[in-house]
Structure 1
Amino acid sequence: MSRHQKRLSVPDSWPVERKTAKYTVKARAGPHGEAGVPLLIVLRDVLGYVDSTKEAKYATNEGNVLVNGEPVGDVRRPIGMFDILGFEEREEFYRVFPDEGGRLALTPIDEADADGKLGKIADKRQVPGGETQLQLHDGRNLRVDDGAEYSPGDSIVIDWDGEILAHFVYEEGALVTAVQGQHAGEVGEIEEITVIESSAPNTVSVDTDDGSFETIDEYVVVIDENFVGGDAGTASEEASGDSREDEGGAEE
């Protein structure tokens, strides 16, 4: 299977320039599906911490790059929405967050806020033993003793030991960000949730500082004000998008 991805066909969420070279690196299979951005692109093109695949491999092999609290040794590991990146030697930490237009961007956060990752509850079900299993948007599963307080659409923050640090309820008045659709990256409060009595998806109206928008409920994630602190989007705007290529004509 090819290790390269044509730039013109990368997902809209990828923070890469499309016309500087024909190819870019391809993410391995893993969390976030096709929207997952290879770690190499984040390290090289977004943050500018390395200039080549070789340097990126050296950094990861030294255990200097943390993703969701764990050292990562694979430069093609997919990075996606709400992942936490840590660079302890630099004392720098980032949350992956959508900027306007839906591109993945890096929001600088404090180390104290880098101890857990947000997940949207996609489904919940009873499992043998009386526990409730919460299925999250990124494929993670979590079992809780009492699932009555949790509902699909809610968001939770889970630390690296699997403990729930925070719970944000999906309801009118909740702060949300759109992560897909034409309003991706916009943040506002839910004004109204409309339940459609058919196979069509439910919709949600969101009130923002610049007006309002309507989208399907699958496209929004409940957050709190801490998720929009800092200068979201700055890291992605600084992406170099240069055209380093290997001998085969594909960017490496």
Structure 2
Amino acid sequence: MAKMGSRKHLKRFKAPKTWPIHPKEDTWTVKPSAGSHAINKSLSLTLVIRDVLALADNAREAKRIINSGNVLVDGRVIKDYKFPVGFMDIIEIPKTGESYRILLDTKGRLKLHEVSKDSSKLCKIVNKTTIKDNKTQLNLHDGKNLIVDADEYDVSDVISLNVANNEIDEVFKFGEGASVLVTGGKHTGEIGIISEINVDQSSNPNTVIIENSKKDTFLTLKDYTFVLGNDKPSISLLEANK
């Protein structure tokens, strides 16, 4: 059998197109560890500190900043320089007082958007199960699991999670009139209002019709929608979504 080569390292020109880095500036980049986000939907913490925020000139300096406990992800100190951070994660730099939310632009690239320090995190419910004592476990898009007493949540709903105490502040229901961000397909990064939901009982996935701010409509898969609010976005977004 032919040798597959190293899977611990990643060359820049093979990096996912969702990464906001130039493919030919250097030879190598830092591959994220296996974790809550897929490699094409996440950035390593070193890449964020060095390449995106420019808080370090090289990987060694970035590792020193991370190992010193100067970076928080969703309210937790992270010291793994390969830790994967992805869509909607909140990154905090206590020494500079800055906080960032990871969003998608219209080209499908992961971007950091500065937010206030006490910002809540939006998490999409991708599955739910009933567990012991008739409680409900919510499985979220970022790999987190949340146990709730009342089963008042549906798959595709989005919760506003307070990362400080891991409690739900608000829930945004998936349905007509909801404000959504498209996270996949050719309309990635576009924002609009759900005007119609097409439910198909066959093996085909359900689709939705979305109306954007220009009153134009387009069709996309239900799985590609991420609810931002009941009738308007509940969070600040990228300027002009660029």
Q: Do the structures match in fold with TM over 0.5?
A: yes
Deviation of 1:174 after TM superposition, in Å, equals 0.3
Q: CA deviation at 1:112?
A: 2.3
The aligned length equals 231
* 1: CA distance, partners of 2:238 / 2:16: 26
Alignment counterpart, residue 217 of structure 1, candidates 185, 209, 222? 222
Q: Which amino acid aligns with 1:129?
A: D
- Matching residue within 197, 204, 211 for 1:207: 211
**Structure 1 equivalent of residue 50 of structure 2:** 44
Find 1:57's aligned residue among 58, 63, 71.
63
**Percent of matched pairs sharing the same residue:** 39
1:46 Cα deviation (Å)?
1.0
Q: TM-score, normalised by structure 1?
A: 0.86
- Superposed, 1:167-246 pairs within 5 Å as 167-210=171-214, 211-224=216-229, 225-229=233-237, 231=239
Instruction: Name the counterpart of 2:118.
Output: 112
Summarize the Cα distance change of 1:208–1:228 in structure 2 as closer, same or farther, 3 Å threshold: farther
Amino acid at match of 2:20: P
Q: Is the 8 A contact 1:108 1:231 kept in 2?
A: no
Q: CA deviation at 1:194?
A: 0.6
CA displacement, residues 93-135 of structure 1 (integer Å, 9 cap, x when unaligned): 110011111111111111121xx32111111121121101111
Unmatched runs of 5 consecutive residues or more in structure 1: 235-252
Q: CA deviation at 1:51?
A: 0.9
State the alpha-carbon separation in 1 of the partners of residues 17 and 8 from structure 2. 19
Amino acid at match of 2:234: N
| CA shift for structure 1 position 14 | 1.3
Higher mean C-alpha deviation, range 77-86 or range 56-65? 56-65
Which runs of 5 or more structure 2 residues have no equivalent in the other structure? 1-5
Aligned equivalent of 1:241: none
Higher RCO (C-alpha 8 Å, min separation 6):
1
TM-score by length of 2: 0.90
Match of 1:23 among 16, 28, 38: 28
Within 1, Cα distance between the matches of 2:27 and 2:202? Answer: 44
